[in-house]
Amino acid sequence: MSILFEPGKLGDIDIKNRVLMAPLTRNRAYPDGTPHEMAVTYYAQRASAGLIISEGAQIVPMAKGYINTPGIHNAKQIAAWKEITDAVHANGGKIVLQLWHVGRISHTSLLPEGSAPLAPSAIQAEAPTFTEEGPANVSAPRELSVAEIEAIVTEYADAAQASIEAGFDGVEVHGANGYLLNQFISTNTNDRTDAYGGSPEKRAKLLLDVVDAVSERIGRGRVGVRLSPTGTFNDIHDAEVSATYGYLFEEIGKRDLAFLHVVEAFPGFEPSGPDKDLVQNLRAGYTGNYIANGGYDKDSAAEAVEKGVAAVSFGRMFISNPDLPERLRLGAELNPVDDDTLYGGDEKGYTDYKALSVAA
């Protein structure tokens, strides 16, 4: 049997295999951020994953960046998520919630009272979002004060606690893909000269403060972090990848968290040769549970696990193959993804992809 189907442990979370479901924005929540009833079926259908990492959920209304994404900041949202986690657990699965703050990747029309998005520095991104009116470039952000940054740390801890109330097995702190925590980490988005900007240590401070506050609230064995060292999606560029992420991987390693989840490649933004080597070097130097993501198939995933990676997460393949672990185990054919139904819409392209037993 392939090593991909051996059980394991990520901190306090037992996983039944090494084929995980990556976080995926699907834009099917209600406008107020309450997860849709369809999401109960969608996640329950994918409970054969070793672990599901949920789509990003905004931790507060100011953390939202696209239409119809779910939140994790009020009782109604928590109750709707509880239906989802109960259904996943009833099917024998595990699920963590991804804690999301988009920072500058938002639009005034998506934010309370038409506010400007929040960011480490007032530097606007060249990046698309989707509003009620359709596609738009993100709005100009405003710089956060130190008091506001400290308040955001508490907002993450509150959202982590809400996630546990909603029945999640843990949380993933989204530090990747150009969103708020990544904006603090990266050189092109952070011009600050206070405790949160300048050296790798200072740019990493907010992410590590968040990880520590969340760990204190729910226990470090239930906390993971997602990073994208070489990513350029959402107009993010780090001029010092090696120094920045060498420091971050070391600090995260010291904290003995459930996992570090790394976006090694992002669709449409794949790293070139030297950047590929950078990620592999960072991976080799990390001794905690490492989840690899981006561009893997069955063979390359098995090889990665053989070489010491704890697990591999799959995004697009899990959208169109709800029974992905079983299909990989059997070497069965995979359903193709319908790109037109990825973001928003109804059951089509969401809960109507067939599992093998149903398709047969």
- In the complex, residue closest to ligand PHB by CB: 25
Q: How many chain residues bind ligand PHB (CB under 6 A)?
A: 5
Which residues partner with 227 through β-bridges? 262
CB of 90 to ligand PHB, least distance (A): 28
Does the protein bind ligand PHB through residue 25 (CB under 6 A)? yes
Looking at the chain, the number of H-run helices and the number of E-run strands are 11, 14
Distance CA 198, CA 92 (A): 46
Q: Distance between CA atoms of 301 and 18, rounded to whole angstroms?
A: 9
Nearer Cβ to ligand PHB (196/233): 233
The C-alpha atoms of residue 236 and residue 234 are separated, in whole angstroms, by 6
Tell me the Ramachandran region of residue 32: left when phi exceeds 0, alpha when psi lies from -120 to 50, beta otherwise. Answer: alpha
The least CB distance from residue 146 to ligand PHB, in Å, is 26
Read off φ and ψ for residue 15, nearest 5 degrees: -120, 140
Binding to ligand PHB by residue 313, rule CB under 6 A?
no
List the catalytic residue out of 42, 43, 179, 245. Answer: 179
Q: How far is the CB of 224 from ligand PHB (least distance, A)?
A: 14
Q: Which two tokens stand for residue 326?
A: 């079983």
In the complex with ligand PHB, the residue whose CB is nearer, 176 or 258, is 176
128 CB burial (10 A radius; 0-12, 13-18, 19+): middle
Answer yes or no whether residue 231 interacts with ligand PHB by CB under 6 A.
Answer: no
Which residues 31-90 are close enough to bind ligand PHB by CB under 6 A?
Answer: 56, 66
Look at the alpha carbons of 112, 103, 250, 199 in this order and tell me if their dihedral is positive or negative: negative
Closer CB to ligand PHB, 237 or 307, in the complex: 237
Give whole-number Cα distances, 352 to 87, 322, 326, 359, in Å: 17, 9, 18, 11
Min dist CB 56 to ligand PHB, Å, is 5
Q: Which of 54, 163, 177, 341 binds ligand PHB (CB under 6 A)?
A: 177
Catalytic status, residue 343: no
What torsion do the CA atoms of 174, 116, 162, 21 make, to the nearest 10 degrees?
A: -30
CB closer to ligand PHB, 66 vs 286: 66
String marking each residue 263-302 x if it binds ligand PHB according to CB under 6 A: ----------------------------------------
DSSP letter for each residue of 187-205? TTT----STTSSSHHHHHH
Tell me how far, at minimum, the Cβ of 263 lies from ligand PHB, in Å: 8
Q: Which is nearer to ligand PHB, 5 or 269 (CB)?
A: 269
**Site residues for ligand PHB per CB under 6 A:** 25, 56, 66, 176-177
Supply the residues annotated as catalytic. Answer: 179
